[in-house]
């Protein structure tokens, strides 16, 4: 009779070349404090200038989630002091964000789906990093001023499962749009989970607890389950009002618990006010025309695979599960092969051979190579069985498909003259069987096929062998 209520805030680091308000590079893995300048160090007199690339990416996301893209949006200052932010405020968009009122569809295993509303997506600047080493704490400002898009959902999710489906879908959209790498471990897709409970049927929203910065889907799921259990227990024990307060909690993965980190600030604590150093952000007609044409998204691609390649939904979902997988498959298809073969050779043969750190993005056999290997089966150059040996060889040796086939001597013989000679030799050597066959023992046909294949060391094209033997055995 309880219901879980979840709203999610996701900070996506945008993969622009330069920072949000200055021309420093966004690659913050360089030597500490080298990608900085007076603007991102907040030195007096340095003024921010908006990086237009950020607006372009926001338009792309807004289009993907079917949202309103505000042609004019504004920046605001959120004041707080922390050593990783030299200005002692963060530039964000509170009152008029660039993207509002979007939606995202999540799909359940049973085929049903649900739409989660997205309240807004706004632009903001990231902080630097505090690095604690023993007794010393250092501040690295390479990340300071990196552009983020914060995507805030409505409290529409009713279970940990729904939250994870939403996050996975959003993650995949970011990757398909290529507006960020969305690497959770590295912090380029950071999730804050807001959780409350209420009696089923109740319309009112109860006190929410925010759990910050959990860096894997598995841990997010766990953190939600633990927090829901804590709130329910408090409710059932009659201590809900005393124990559940609006606060920020941390998920401790070793202790498997959520723990209070700090009381949640109210908006008033941040002293928000319009950012006086920046002009309004304008989305021009040209920008909108150009950036609202976005790449095909996972749902659409999946529907198209089902329709165009006559594959089942499960196969299509495997092939669109990540943008890398989808692109790999499509590049294979460009070799002019059948979808069925492309699917098997990618998901069974290649993936079965990718071990340890290997995945399709760093696979020694790329899509073009695997596609041409399949092509060689389809055009009769090699048998499917031989192709597996060729693939084994290609996994270890950097060479092209045709050279590998030559190298291994696996080319199928389709030349009728050569096969005919083998057929004649096999028949001559097995006169007794030939007589039996003639007198009606049809089953022996298979014996002859087998002998010819064996004599040719598997290189004869089986179809040619069959055709020739039919004629010769009469």
Contact positions with Mg ion (CB under 5 A) in 8-27: 9
245 binds ligand ADP (CB under 6 A): no
Distance of CA 431 to the CA centre of its chain: 63
Site string for ligand ADP, 7-26 (x = CB under 6 A): xxx-----------------
Would you count residue 5 as binding ligand ADP (CB under 6 A)?
yes
**DSSP 3-state of 126:** coil
State the residues that interact with Zn ion by CB under 5 A. Answer: 22, 24, 37, 39-40
Query: Which residue among 93, 142, 196, 464 contacts ligand ADP (CB under 6 A)?
Result: 196
User: What is the nearest approach in angstroms of ligand ADP to the Cβ of residue 197?
Assistant: 8
Q: Which one, 45 or 238, has the nearer CB to Zn ion?
A: 45
Based on CB atoms, which residue is closest to ligand ADP, 147 or 371?
Answer: 147
Which tokens is 254 given? Answer: 């070793």
Q: Which residues pair with 261 in a beta bridge?
A: none
CB of 147 to Mg ion, least distance (A): 19
Q: Give yes or no for residue 51 binding ligand ADP (CB under 6 A).
A: no
Q: How far is the CB of 118 from ligand ADP (least distance, A)?
A: 9
Closest distance between Zn ion and the C-beta of residue 38, in Å? 7
**92-105 residues labelled b (16+ CB within 10 A) or e (exposed):** bbbebbbbbebebe
Rounded to 10 degrees, the C-alpha dihedral 247/248/253/257 comes to 0
Binding mask 104-143 for ligand ADP (x = CB under 6 A): ----------------------------------------
Token reading at 462? 């089986």
Strands 2-13 and 147-153: antiparallel
Coil, helix or strand for 209?
A: strand
Give yes or no for a contact between 69 and 99, defined as CB atoms under 8 angstroms apart. Answer: yes
183-212 positions binding Mg ion, by CB under 5 A: 192, 210
**Which of the listed partners (ligand ADP, Mg ion, Zn ion, none) does 196 bind, with a CB threshold of 5 to 8 Å by partner kind?**
ligand ADP
Tokens standing for residue 307: 């329709």
Q: How far is CA 339 from CA 219, 383, 430, in A?
A: 36, 18, 42
- Min CB(173)–Mg ion separation in Å: 21
Check binding of 425 to ligand ADP (CB under 6 A).
Answer: no
* Residue with Cβ nearer ligand ADP (155 or 458): 155
Question: Which of 2-10, 91-99, 101-109, 325-333 is the region at the interface with ligand ADP (rule: CB under 6 A)?
Answer: 2-10
In sequence order, the 6+-apart residues with CB closer than 8 A to the CB of 249 are: 209, 210, 211, 212, 227, 258, 259, 260, 261
Q: Which segment (32-40, 193-201, 371-379, 419-427) binds ligand ADP by CB under 6 A? A: 193-201
457: number of Cβ within 10 Å: 10
Q: Which of 53, 84, 154, 420 is in the footprint of ligand ADP by CB under 6 A?
A: 154
Burial class (CB in 10 A: 0-12, 13-18, 19+), 228: buried
Q: Does 160 bind ligand ADP (CB under 6 A)?
A: no
Q: What are phi and psi of 148, to 5 degrees?
A: -120, 150
Site map (CB under 5 A) of Mg ion, residues 147-186, x = contact:
----------------------------------------
| Contact present, 27 and 214 (Cβ < 8 Å) | no
- Report the candidate in 168, 194, 178 with the shortest Cα–Cα distance to residue 13: 178
Which tokens belong to 356? 């340890």
Closest CA to 337 of 325, 346, 349: 346
Question: Residue 426 is encoded by which pair of tokens?
Answer: 């096999």
Q: Which two tokens stand for residue 66?
A: 């079917």
Distance of closest approach, residue 117 Cβ to ligand ADP, in angstroms: 9
Cβ nearer to ligand ADP, comparing 205 with 407: 205
383 binds ligand ADP (CB under 6 A): no
Q: Which of 2, 74, 206, 272 binds ligand ADP (CB under 6 A)?
A: 206
What is the closest distance, in whole angstroms, from the C-beta atom of residue 152 to ligand ADP in the complex?
Answer: 5
Site residues (CB under 5 A) for Mg ion?
Answer: 9, 192, 210
Site residues (CB under 6 A) for ligand ADP?
Answer: 5-9, 152-155, 194-196, 205-206, 208, 210
């Amino acid at each position: 009779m309880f219901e879980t209520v979840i709203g999610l805030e996701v900070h996506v680091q945008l993969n622009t070349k330069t920072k949000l308000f200055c021309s420093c590079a966004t690659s913050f893995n360089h030597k500490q404090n080298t990608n900085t300048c007076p603007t991102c160090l907040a030195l007096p007199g340095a003024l921010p200038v908006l990086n237009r690339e950020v607006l372009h990416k926001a338009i792309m996301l807004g289009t993907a989630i079917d949202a309103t893209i505000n042609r004019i949006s504004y920046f605001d200052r959120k004041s707080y002091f922390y050593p990783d932010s030299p200005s002692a405020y963060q530039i964000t968009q509170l009152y008029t964000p660039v993207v509002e009122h979007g939606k995202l569809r999540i799909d359940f295993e049973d085929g049903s789906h649900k739409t989660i509303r997205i309240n807004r997506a706004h632009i903001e600047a990231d902080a630097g990093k505090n690095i604690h080493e023993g007794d010393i704490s250092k501040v690295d400002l390479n990340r300071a001023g990196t552009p983020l898009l914060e995507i805030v959902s409505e409290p529409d999710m009713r279970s940990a499962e729904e939250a994870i489906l939403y996050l996975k879908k959003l993650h995949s959209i970011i990757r398909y749009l290529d507006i960020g790498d969305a690497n959770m471990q590295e912090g380029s897709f950071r999730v804050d989970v807001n959780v409350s409970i209420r009696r089923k049927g109740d319309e009112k929203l109860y006190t929410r607890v925010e759990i910050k910065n959990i860096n894997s889907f598995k841990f997010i799921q766990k953190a939600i389950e633990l927090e829901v259990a804590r709130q329910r227990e408090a409710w059932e024990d009659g201590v809900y009002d005393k124990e559940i307060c609006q606060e920020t909690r941390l998920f401790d993965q070793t202790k498997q618990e959520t723990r209070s980190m700090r009381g949640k600030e109210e908006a008033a604590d941040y002293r928000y006010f319009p950012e006086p150093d920046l002009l309004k952000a304008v989305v021009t007609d040209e920008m909108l025309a150009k950036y609202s044409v976005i790449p095909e998204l996972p749902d659409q691609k999946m529907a198209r695979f089902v329709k165009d390649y006559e594959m089942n939904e499960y196969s299509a979902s495997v092939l669109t599960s990540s943008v890398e997988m989808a692109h790999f498959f499509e590049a294979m298809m460009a070799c002019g092969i059948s979808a069925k073969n492309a699917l098997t050779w990618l998901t069974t043969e290649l993936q079965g051979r990718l071990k340890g750190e290997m995945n399709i993005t760093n696979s020694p056999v790329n899509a073009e190579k695997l596609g041409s290997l399949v092509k060689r089966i389809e055009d009769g150059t090699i048998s499917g069985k031989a192709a597996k040996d060729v693939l084994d060889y290609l996994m270890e040796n950097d060479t092209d498909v045709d050279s590998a086939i030559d190298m291994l001597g696996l080319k199928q013989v389709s030349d009728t003259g050569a096969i005919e000679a083998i057929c004649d030799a096999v028949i001559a050597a097995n006169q007794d069987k030939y007589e039996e066959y003639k007198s009606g023992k049809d089953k022996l046909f298979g014996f002859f096929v087998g002998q010819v294949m064996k004599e040719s060391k598997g290189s004869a094209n089986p179809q040619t062998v069959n055709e020739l033997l039919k004629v010769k055995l009469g």
